[in-house]
Amino acid sequence: MEYFLQQLINGLSLGAIYGLIAIGYTMVYGIIGMINFAHGEIYMIGAFVAMITYLAVGALGITWVPLALLLMLAASMMFTSVYGWTVERIAYRPLRSSPRLAPLISAIGMSIFLQNYVQLVQGARSKPLQPILPGNLTLLDGAVSVSYVRLATIVITLLLMYGFTMLISRTALGRAQRACEQDKTMAGLLGVNVDRVISLTFVLGAALAAVAGMMVMLIYGVIDFYIGFLAGVKAFTAAVLGGIGSLPGAMLGGVVIGLIEAFWAGYIGSEWKDVATFTILVLVLIFRPTGLLGRPEIEKV
Amino acid sequence: MLTVSGVHTFYGAIEALKGVDIEIGEGEIVSLIGANGAGKSTLLMTICGNPRARAGRIIFDGEDITHLPTHQLVRRGIAQSPEGRRIFPRMSVLENLQMGAIASPPKGFDRDLEEVFTLFPRLKERINQRAGTMSGGEQQMLAIGRALMSQPRLLLLDEPSLGLAPLVVKQIFQAIKDINRERKMTVFMVEQNAYHALKLAHRGYVMVTGRVTMSGTGAELLSNPEVRAAYLEGGH
Ligand SMILES: Nc1ncnc2c1ncn2[C@@H]1O[C@H](COP(=O)(O)OP(=O)(O)OP(=O)(O)O)[C@@H](O)[C@H]1O
Ligand SMILES: [Mg+2]
Co-location of B66 and B158 in the same domain: yes
State residue A137's pLDDT score: 79
B36 Cα–ligand 2 center, Å: 7
| Whole-number Å distance between alpha carbons of A132 and A151 | 14
State residue A206's pLDDT score: 97
Name the phi and psi angles at B125, rounded to 5. -60, -30
Contact between A158 and A83 (Cβ < 8 Å): no
Contact between A127 and A51 (Cβ < 8 Å): yes
pLDDT (tens digit per residue) in A206-250? 999 999 999 999 998 888 888 999 999 999 999 999 998 889 999
Closest partner residue to B50 among A178, A188, A298, by Cβ? A188
Closest partner residue to B95 among A175, A192, A298, by Cβ? A175
Closest partner residue to B90 among A187, A191, A299, by Cβ? A299
| Whole-number Å distance between alpha carbons of B79 and B73 | 8
Residue A119, pLDDT > 60, answer yes
State residue A82's pLDDT score: 97
Contacts of A194 in chain B (CB under 8 A): 71
- The answer to whether the Cβ–Cβ distance between B132 and A301 falls below 8 Å is yes
pLDDT (tens digit per residue) in A156-169? 999 999 999 999 99
B151, B181, B197 - which closes a domain: B151
How many other CB atoms sit within 10 Å of the CB of residue A220?
15
Q: Flag whether residue A300 sits within 8 Å of chain B, measured between CB atoms.
A: yes
Residue A299, pLDDT > 70, answer no
Please provide the DSSP assignment of A193-227 as one string: -HHHHHHHHHHHHHHHHHHHHHHHHHHHSEE-TTH
- The answer to whether the Cβ–Cβ distance between B82 and A192 falls below 8 Å is no
pLDDT (tens digit per residue) in A243-297? 988 899 999 999 999 999 999 988 888 788 888 888 888 888 888 888 888 876 5
Contact between B207 and B39 (Cβ < 8 Å): yes
**A–B: how many Cβ contacts below 8 A?**
77
* CATH number of the CATH domain containing B34: 3.40.50.300
ipTM of model? 0.93
Contact between A267 and A261 (Cβ < 8 Å): no
Q: How far is the CA of A263 from the CAs of A12, A133, A216, A266, in angstroms?
A: 11, 25, 19, 5
B135, B151, B167 - which closes a domain: B151
State residue A161's pLDDT score: 92
B46 Cα–ligand 1 center, Å: 12
Co-location of B213 and B170 in the same domain: yes
Residue B84 domain flag: no
Co-location of B55 and B158 in the same domain: yes
Contacts of B100 in chain A (CB under 8 A): 190
| Whole-number Å distance between alpha carbons of B170 and B188 | 18
Among B25, B20, B117, B134, residue whose Cα is nearest residue B66: B20
Contact between A107 and A37 (Cβ < 8 Å): yes
Contact between A49 and A122 (Cβ < 8 Å): no
Co-location of B166 and B223 in the same domain: yes
Burial label for B12, CB within 10 Å (0-12, 13-18, 19+), is exposed
Q: List, in sequence order, every residue forming a beta bridge with A127; answer none if it has no partner.
A: A223
Contact between A147 and A127 (Cβ < 8 Å): no
State residue A301's pLDDT score: 41
Contacts of A192 in chain B (CB under 8 A): 71, 99, 102-103
Co-location of B177 and B221 in the same domain: yes
Q: Which atom of ligand 1 is nearest to the CA of B190?
A: 22
Residue B127 domain flag: yes
Q: Lowest-pLDDT range, A75-79, A86-90, A126-130?
A: A126-130
Which residue range is the domain that position B102 belongs to? Answer: 89-151
Contact between B7 and B163 (Cβ < 8 Å): no
Number of domains, chain B: 2
Q: Tell me which DSSP letter residue A123 carries.
A: -
Co-location of B101 and B119 in the same domain: yes
Reported confidence tier of residue A298, pLDDT bands at 50, 70, 90? very low
For A196, residues 6+ apart whose C-beta sits below 8 A from its C-beta are none
Among A122, A87, A79, A86, residue whose Cα is nearest residue A103: A87
Contact between A22 and A158 (Cβ < 8 Å): no
Co-location of B47 and B72 in the same domain: yes
Co-location of B191 and B230 in the same domain: yes
Co-location of B66 and B168 in the same domain: yes
Computed over every residue of chain A, the mean pLDDT equals 89
Going by CATH, does the domain composed of A2-287 fall within 1.10.3470?
yes
Co-location of B169 and B228 in the same domain: yes
Residues of chain A with pLDDT > 90, as a percent, come to 58
Co-location of B207 and B101 in the same domain: no
| Whole-number Å distance between alpha carbons of A56 and A271 | 37
Q: To 10 degrees, the CA torsion angle through A75, A244, A37, A235? A: 60
- The answer to whether the Cβ–Cβ distance between A185 and B84 falls below 8 Å is no
- The answer to whether the Cβ–Cβ distance between B84 and A301 falls below 8 Å is yes
State the number of CA atoms in the 13 A half-sphere of A214 facing the CB.
Answer: 30
Q: How far is the CA of A132 from the CAs of A155, A159, A169, in angstroms?
A: 17, 21, 35
pLDDT (tens digit per residue) in A31-68? 998 889 999 999 999 999 999 999 998 888 888 888 98
- The answer to whether the Cβ–Cβ distance between A175 and B150 falls below 8 Å is no
Co-location of B131 and B216 in the same domain: no
| The three-state (H, E, C) secondary structure of A256-288, written as one string | HHHHHHHHHHHHCCHHHHHHHHHHHHHHHHHHC
Q: Provide the residue-wise pLDDT of chain B in tens; the chain has 236 residues.
A: 999 999 999 999 999 999 999 999 999 999 999 999 999 999 999 999 999 999 999 999 999 999 999 999 999 999 999 999 999 999 999 999 999 999 999 999 999 999 999 989 999 999 999 999 999 889 999 999 999 999 999 999 999 988 788 888 888 899 899 999 988 999 999 998 888 899 999 999 999 999 999 999 999 999 988 888 888 875 54
B151, B168, B197 - which closes a domain: B151
Q: Distance between alpha carbon A64 and the CA centroid of its chain, in Å? A: 27
Burial label for B106, CB within 10 Å (0-12, 13-18, 19+), is exposed
Computed over every residue of chain B, the mean pLDDT equals 93
Burial label for B148, CB within 10 Å (0-12, 13-18, 19+), is buried
Residue B230 domain flag: yes
Contact between B205 and B29 (Cβ < 8 Å): no
